[in-house]
């Protein structure tokens, strides 16, 4: 049973998230040869102020 964790910036609509999980589930099943019911996806919304890359907090990037 694949369990996929996704962390991304907050602000995406429920429709976009739905489209995303449908696509990830479809491709996971294609590659791993499993049924959709076996795929679990946990999405976590993260504030830009709680994420940094290259030593810079995303909310402070210009």
- CATH number for 15: 3.30.429.10
The 10s digit of each residue's pLDDT in 25-59 is 999 999 999 999 999 999 999 999 999 999 999 99
| 25 found inside a domain | yes
Indicate which residue of 1, 2, 22, 55 is catalytic.
Answer: 2
| 60 found inside a domain | no
14 tagged catalytic: no
Residue 62's pLDDT is 80
Mean pLDDT value of segment 16-29: 98
Residue 49's pLDDT is 97
| 18 found inside a domain | yes
| 41 found inside a domain | yes
| 54 found inside a domain | no
By C-alpha distance, which of 48, 56, 55 is closest to 10? Answer: 48
Can you tell me the distance from the alpha carbon of 40 to that of 54, in angstroms, rounded to the nearest whole number?
A: 31
Residue 61's pLDDT is 92
User: At residue 12, does pLDDT exceed 90?
Assistant: yes
Total domains in the chain come to 1
User: At residue 17, does pLDDT exceed 90?
Assistant: yes
Residue range of the domain that includes 20: 3-48
């Amino acid at each position: 049973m694949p369990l996929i964790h996704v962390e991304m910036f907050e602000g995406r609509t429920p429709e976009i998230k739905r489209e995303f999980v449908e696509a990830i589930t479809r491709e996971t099943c294609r590659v791993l040869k499993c049924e959709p019911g076996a795929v679990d996806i946990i999405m976590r919304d993260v504030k830009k102020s709680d994420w940094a890359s290259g030593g810079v907090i995303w909310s402070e990037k210009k």
